[in-house]
Amino acid sequence: MTILQLDDIHFAYAGQAPILAGASMQLEAGQRLSITGPNGAGKSTLFRISLGLQSPTAGQVTVFGKPRNVEADFLDVRRRVGLVFQDPDDQLFCPTVAEDIAFGPLNLGRSKEEALQIVDRVLTDLDLMHLKERITHKLSGGEKRLVTLATVLAMEPEALLLDEPTNALDTKNEARLLEILQALPQAILLVSHSPAFRQALAPDSLILEDGQLISA
């Protein structure tokens, strides 16, 4: 099954030169794929377009086999594809870690008891139970990164889009994150400036260059 398909995507921010100029790609179930490219090439923009957080000026986004054009088309995409943003502060907005992780499942209609069970399970899986009652905005950068991943895994997504997941992580936590991600069954689309991390998690890669995706 094809999870994500981008065909000939064009995009420019208002008043700026085009960033994407005919970008096309495909992510299959279970596949691990990296996207590389220089700072400002448009990698994060491509992720946002894939989830309908920005609209391309031309081109087609197809997710789970269905063309997605208007906001309503993307609601189900955002439930089924988890995006770990580059900046954790874009993702964490509840007072405590437990509330942040429960937010997604509650939104998906889980009961409070179910949501609390999911919180405990995800925190245990990530070895983060010690952070459960902490105030989110007082966490360290690396702790926020890991909690962000926890909020996304709590939604049990079918695929993960990871934007610089190792940012702010120390060597030990980077290794732990790698182990956790390697053990997941989901398809992963990875943006990472760390060659070692890409090689270990998603060695197949596309390069975003001059607005197009080319095979590495």
Residues that bind ligand ATP (CB under 6 A): 13, 16, 19, 37, 39-45, 86
10 within 8 A of 22, measured Cβ to Cβ: yes
Output 39 or 215, the one with its CB closest to ligand ATP.
39
Work out the number of other CB atoms within 10 angstroms of the CB of residue 166. Answer: 23
189 within 8 A of 33, measured Cβ to Cβ: yes
Output 44 or 126, the one with its CB closest to ligand ATP.
44
**Smallest distance from ligand ATP to CB 28, Å:** 23
Work out the number of other CB atoms within 10 angstroms of the CB of residue 186. Answer: 18
Output 19 or 201, the one with its CB closest to ligand ATP.
19
How far is residue 31's CA from residue 175's CA, in Å, rounded to a whole number?
A: 21
SS3 assignment, position 119 = helix
79 within 8 A of 108, measured Cβ to Cβ: yes
**Smallest distance from ligand ATP to CB 109, Å:** 32
24 within 8 A of 9, measured Cβ to Cβ: yes
CA of 174: how far to CAs of 124, 127, 171, in Å? 17, 13, 5
Output 29 or 196, the one with its CB closest to ligand ATP.
196
**Smallest distance from ligand ATP to CB 86, Å:** 6
**Smallest distance from ligand ATP to CB 14, Å:** 7
Output 77 or 161, the one with its CB closest to ligand ATP.
161
Output 104 or 211, the one with its CB closest to ligand ATP.
211
**Smallest distance from ligand ATP to CB 136, Å:** 23
**Smallest distance from ligand ATP to CB 216, Å:** 15
CA of 21: how far to CAs of 13, 14, 127, 208, in Å? 12, 15, 42, 10
